[in-house]
Structure 1
Amino acid sequence: MAKVQVAQISVPEGWIDFGIGQPHVDILPLDQLTRAATHRLQQGDRNILQYGMQQGNGNFRGSLSQFLSTEYGAPVDPDHLFITAGISQALDQICALHTRPGDTVFVEEPSYFLALRIFADHGLKVISTPIDENGLIIEALEEKLVKHKPVFIYTIPSFHNPAGVTLSANRREKLVSLGEKHDFLIVADEVYQMLAYTSTPPLPMTYFDTSERVLSLGSFSKILAPGLRLGWMQAKPSLLEPFIVCGYLDSGGGLNPFVSSIVNSMIELGLQKDYLNFLRKTYRDRMVALNKALRQHIPVLRFTDPDGGYFIWSYLPEGTDTEALLAEAKKRQVGFQPGIKFSSAKGFCNYLRFCFAFYGEEDLMEGVERLSRIIR
């Protein structure tokens, strides 16, 4: 029987692709999830197989709120949580409920390229606004707001993808103030919030919300397993209400009630916390190894060490075409993400994004050595 592909990514044998932004299958927590599933199923509660409560199982939201309160160091109210099928689904639902084709949304420049795909699916006009080492540049955003009226701004405030930077607390406050002044929502993709290695980011964006403007999106994709398709939206109840009463959930019920019951046991048994600590150490070690290898073998490459997340955002001298460079790299069975993919304005042509989450340290160093033969 021919081998069939079951996962989204299939890496050819011998390849090292720094462009893959997900965990390797070897470190996914199969044993822990087996324990959690056994714990939940042995309780004999058939309700977990029924259509779920629209906002999400109350028991799970209670456990999740306690877990998040501990990780954030700030209280999380279960009534301020809405269970999603991950951030991609949440973004799609936000677009479905809050926008119409032709509406304007703001994104950071650069930004997560697959979010741009979702906005394109909804026919939205995307306007980019620049970031620096402290995240979104507020003065530049204010200039854009003179000419455009966005429905929302999509931001990745902590350990940005691809840039790795974190939005400062002061800028978070100013962003919320601008949202109130100009009547737009702030959609915060906070998937990397808990993957901090060398410094702690400010609290999630919802804690800065004084005017019911912020939708903070979290996910288990990066802290447990992406195949679970499970996440949450944290916001004031008035902002969650349109999602809870929408026709999609009125018909199908809450999202992923069975999976959320298993993850509930992961939290109750302390397995989620232990696994998150394991990921933090593993990714920190890989980040340090990749930083060192890049500086040693490709000194022409420039970058700032990230404090968390998945990525190193780097650049080569002006005039370098990293898309053309990628074609040469593939001949040596190594890959990366060229910077232009993250630009809605076709910029960052001399930039590269490296992910350190997928490969172990030995493969990371081998991949850098392969790249060093074409980047001089």
Structure 2
Amino acid sequence: MRRMLLAACAVLAAALTVSVPTAAARAEAPAPPPRAAAPELPAPTGKLPVGMAAVHLKDADRADPWVPGQRRELMVSVWYPAAKPSGTRAPYMTADESRTYLEAGAEDLPPQVPRDVLSTVVTHAGVRAAPVRARGGLPLVVLSPGFGMPRATLTGLAEELASRGYAVAAIGHNYEADGISFPDGPTTTCVACAHRDYPKVGAVRAADVSFVLDELTGGRPAWRGGPRLDPGRVAMVGHSAGGFSTVPAMLRDARVRAAVDMDGSFHFPNDTPLDRPLLMLGKPSRVPGGPDRTWDETWTELSGWKRWLTVDGTEHLSFTDLAPLGERLGLPQQRLDGDRADAVTRAYVTAFVDTHLRGRDAPLLAGPSARFPEVRFHRP
């Protein structure tokens, strides 16, 4: 996953860099083209403006599972519907997060590429905007990114859901990503990447989700001025490792009422029945009887509402921001147009949470749709 993102960063750096010619070259050559604009995420399609806050959480009761000499700490990005737009756009990543992430794969990155290049991506949320008032609290969607991937790679989906009235909390699972900046300490790296202990990753993330829910939906807000949340309406959506972590999270915590796995193989034991809704959304090879039998095994243990969908023309990263960003950088991540892949993800995840957190009828989940012919339903 990192190699594909690094290639995209190289293209971005080339687009944003303007060389300084010599005096002779200036006399002979035409003026250089204007500096290219930074890539922008697709705008959310909901009616509400979006606010965003980065929240630092400390679990004094738990040792960090990857660095046992420390207590568990998390950075969480929270998006929410705002009463009015903020004048300051939220950063995609901090410069330190971008630098740390890119340095982790420096052998694949040309030396002229600025290491803070990912901090230039344009978002659509305002920092610390005042939240809307919601009677009973906002429904909450927890996001968990892929293994080694920054939580920022799910920003587009978060902004979409927030513009439609959801609070969204993307968890930066400490030491499971290269590039998590804390306000009072260094930017951390992916210690867990050296182990590849996926069942442990699932168990750790399940504990992280429970802790985040305690902090965000408890008697006090996690930060002053934050939106009120409804602890009875919580869903989890994850990509890759975050996707397979939805099962242990639901088995551990009854507050997670429904979940979406976006192209994650299930590395957690699949022999425990689960009666809550689960949407499995993946690339074309994740078909029944395909190379990843963990989807078949998990499917048989789902006794509640369930759907198994694949999207033609997609790859593993197509369910993240890298689909539209790769398209803008001239480095598509899949055969399907990047903006189209992004639109599919937003539409089906939104339909899912609307159904299970708001009780709304979502015909999109009933079967194949003429609006999205690339989406295939499987019923093994």
Q: Which has the higher contact order (CA 8 A, sep 6+)?
A: 1
Higher helix share: 1
Do the structures match in fold with TM over 0.5? Answer: no
Instruction: Return the TM-score normalized by structure 2.
Output: 0.29
